[in-house]
Structures are given as structure tokens and as C-alpha cells.
Structure 1
């Protein structure tokens, strides 16, 4: 998939260094439920899992490349598919050096269009740490609605962390696109 500034494509083994640079950055994974990667083999494992998920159609994970330079600056995924309900979850990460440029919104919008229009998803869910203002802004800008709050749901980086749940229905998406 391509957008005005980005290309979204399946992950490849050659992405290991770029992914390691992104996910070993403590600022990128600050609100994730995992510690920063400490070895490039963790990138290799993540890529292998993504390749397996492509084969058994359990996840759609894309590398986010800058169209001009072909630099991998992040990932975006639709995962945890519940096919009987046409529902899945959204995940994304952008290299901290590229924050504030609208790349997350641009990439997520393309993936949501694909999910709703090509895959047939009816509902996409996301859960974030309520302290992650940038992520909340991205989701709300794209039409996600706050649907719930769970205190101390995760233990992240040695502390309990809350969760805010967001949901986006195909109807909301279509209404947003029409207006």
C-alpha cells in the first residue's frame, strides 16, 4: 500500500536492523507491555512470527517506509483477529526520531481502509496507556472513540499501568470518510 509519503509492505528479513533500532529505544516502548529489545535476534524472531502470521492469515503487520528514502520508520498491524465477529486489534510504533510528522496517522489510515474495505473488518480496537497523549490524539483524530478504562491492567517496566480502550466501527469510518 502507498500513501502520499509512505509505503506499507510486509516485513522482510532485511528489516531486522531497522526494527531493532526502533524497538530497542526505551522511548518507543515506554507504553508497551514489553521491555526494549536487547539483541538483534529479537528482531529476527519478530519478523519470523510476522512471516508465519502472513501464511496462516492471523495478522497483517506492515513495515512503514518513507517513500523517498525507503527507510523503515515503524510498523503498523491489524492483529488478534476474531473472525466470527469481524473484529481485530490495532498496533503501531514509529521511530522516535520521526514523531510529530503525522506518519502514524497516515499509515494507520491506510491500514484501516484496507481492513474495512478489503478484509471486511467491522470493528477495530486499540488499548493504550492513558499517559500516552500522542497515541490518544492519533486514535481520536482517526475517529476512534473511548470505550472504557481499566486501572492497573498491565505491569509495564516495573509499574502497574492503566488502559484506555478505544473502538472504531466501519460505520464510524464510513461516516468520517463521507463528511
Structure 2
């Protein structure tokens, strides 16, 4: 699978990307912003994660894509739809970007393309996103792609022995197509 934006290529994962993925996911700042990413990130987890991503894609339960800079073909992160539920036509968007590329709009650009894929190709009705409340940059990405804040779940998740509040946002197909 391949999606393309002005500056990015979003491609299906394969095991040849393992070292590049490890270089990004081992960054402490990334682990600090993601609910399920441990730090330090064990190298052997990368191969298993790529296998899981490929199997999920084949089953149609997730569509996670590797993000590359179009100009240099450098791997800079991940963006995709997870928890795809075809019976209810819904999914959750998720993403991370190499810390060396934060603040350049890449997450927003990738998420916009994945959102379009979800609504126009998969014909989803609802795409949600969530982030730790203490991560306003991630919430900003979700709002930039048109998602509406739906609520905050207080102390919903524990990360590094601390309870985290989680913000929930979403966009419906009707809202997406109306705003285009």
C-alpha cells in the first residue's frame, strides 16, 4: 500500500525497515508521549511489531504505514488506522514522528492522508483519536485534521507508575466530507 502527500510517502511495513524503526521508537521523548510504548524499547520487539502490523493489515483490522520523507526517503515515523471495526465502520488513528522532525507539520500531513483513506477507501463512518492530556501537540494534530474534542477520561491509563488523563477526539464521515 502506498499513500502520498506533498512531502511524504506512507508505505506498508516490511522487515527491512526494522533498524530504521528501532532508531525512532527507542527515543525516550517518543515513549514519553505514547501510551503503549515502553522505554527502553527492546530491539527484539521491532520484528514482532512489524509482523503484527503486516498481519493486521492482511486481516483488515489495522492499516499502519511507515512515513518517509519524499525527498530523502528517510523513515521518520508511523501513521495509521488501528482498531478497525468494519461492522461499525469505525477506527482509531495513531501516529508518532521522530523527535528530530517534530514541529514541521509531518504528523498533521500524514494524518490528513490517512483520514482521507479511512473515509474514501474504507468508507468508515467514524475515526477517533486519543492522546495523553499532557501532550497538547498531539491534541493539536487531531484538531487540525478536523476532530472534535469529545471528553477527557481522568486517570484512565498508567504510564511509568503515574496515572494519565486521556483526551478523546473524533470526526464523522459527514463532518469530514462537509468540511472538504
TM-score when normalising by structure 1? 0.95
List structure 1 runs of 4+ shifted beyond 3 angstroms: none
Does 1:153 find its partner at 2:148?
Answer: no
Q: Which residue of 2 aligns with 1:3?
A: 5
Q: Secondary structure at the match of 1:29?
A: helix
Q: CA deviation at 1:170?
A: 1.0
Unaligned runs of 5+ in 2: none
Deviation of 1:111 (Å):
0.7
The whole-number CA distance in structure 2 between the counterparts of 1:53 and 1:37 is: 25
Report the equivalent of 1:39. Answer: 42
Question: Which string of whole-angstrom CA distances, capped at 9 and with x for unpartnered residues, describes residues 100-136 of structure 1?
Answer: 1100011011111111001111100111111111111
Aligned ranges 1:73-84 → 2 under 5 Å: 73-84=76-87
- SS of structure 1 residue aligned to 2:23: helix
TM-score by length of 2: 0.95
* 8 Å Cα contact 2:60-2:84 kept in structure 1: no
Please give the root-mean-square deviation of Cα atoms over the aligned residues, in Å.
1.0
SS at match of 1:136: helix
For each residue in 1:12-70, what CA deviation from the matched residue of structure 2 results, as whole angstroms up to 9, or x when unmatched?
A: 10111111111111101212223124322111111010111122111101000000111
- TM-superposed CA distance for 1:88, in Å, is 0.7
Helix, strand or coil for the counterpart of 2:31? coil
Deviation of 1:143 after TM superposition, in Å, equals 0.7
1:46 & 1:102 partners in 2: Cα distance?
26
